[in-house]
Amino acid sequence: MTKVAVLGGGSFGTTLAHTVASAGRACTLWSRDEEVARKINETHRNPRYFQDRPLSPDLRATSNLEEAAKDAPLVVVAVASSGFREVARALGDFVRGDQVILSATKGLEPRTHKRMSELLREETCAKKVGALSGPNIAREILDGQPAATVVASRFRDAIELSAELLHAPRFRIYGNDDLLGVELAGALKNVIAIASGVLTGLGLGDNARSLLITRGLAEIQRLGVKLGADPLTFSGLAGIGDLLVTCTSPLSRNHRVGAGLAKGETLEAIVERLGEVAEGINTARVCKELAAEHGVAMPIAEGVYKLLHEGLAVRDALEDLMQRRPRYEAIDLDYSFEVPRR
């Protein structure tokens, strides 16, 4: 039986592995924590995530990376961006050039600004790398609610193999050859989701959220297109689809970060309570640096950066955005105009 390896015993890695195994395919979940792997095998539950939800009895877990990844035609890496390169480097000792490796991590590497697929290409011999991204709230997928995701790669056969091995009765796979756009959309939307959480925490209404999501998408698209992405990618599942769910769902970690900040909690306390990485915290810094480097206006993302890393007060960040000069809306008319004083 064809084996799928999922690397990362967090919420999404666990969910993806459970979904694959539940669809009748051999799947091995790798966790660096030996105790987590043992508990999954013995109790069919992840002791750290979704303890109330039984996992497929056909799912097998291991803490041995070679055992998980060797000879698996498809390997999906779902670990935090901060540790992604380390895992990719270790993975490089065990994979062959003909294996397909996907990143399911929606982040960018600090300092280098590189995407996760670029790290896979640098640290392994795999030629057919790609990314998995979309509106994928883990808890809903684990509960069997309908969902879909996008597999992006420059290689059509990598997309087709991934679709064959990852699809499930209520988990649909779409393909996209714009790997750059899909990865950027997945990473940058987390920054906007933090801003959306702030609106929720302040008790602001649907008009404000609609405004934020729309203008946030414009910022993401501006930077993505500047870096070479296809603008159409941002109107798909990996773009507006993922942005919508992350900005509106209380299950979104990044949304919860913003809501906590709006209620006066410290960032440290919020992160400790979450117990998982909210990628938007680190991505906000990378986003600010990329926007400055390429001369792209991203006022919402800049406000989130200042909120997280410079101590800007929540209401001051909101006031700064609302008092900006009027601008033309279209992406190719990004300049302001004067409003006559009365």
Known catalytic residues are 189
Determine the angle formed by the axes of helices 179-202 and 314-322, rounding to 10 degrees. Answer: 110
What is d(CA 213, CA 240) in angstroms, rounded to the nearest whole number?
Answer: 9
Dist. CA 76–CA 104, nearest whole Å: 7
Please check whether residue 84 is in contact with residue 119, taking contact to mean a CB–CB distance below 8 angstroms: yes
Task: Please spell the DSSP secondary structure of 82-124, one letter per residue.
Answer: GGHHHHHHHHTTT--TTSEEEE----B-TTT--BHHHHHHHHS
Q: In angstroms, rounded to a whole number, what is the distance separating the alpha carbons of residues 187 and 282?
A: 10
* CA 34 to centroid of chain Cα atoms: 25
Phi, psi (rounded to 5 degrees) for 38: -65, -45
What is the rounded CA–CA span in Å between residue 77 and residue 92?
A: 12
User: CB within 8 A of 308, min separation 6: which ones?
Assistant: 194, 261, 267, 281, 284
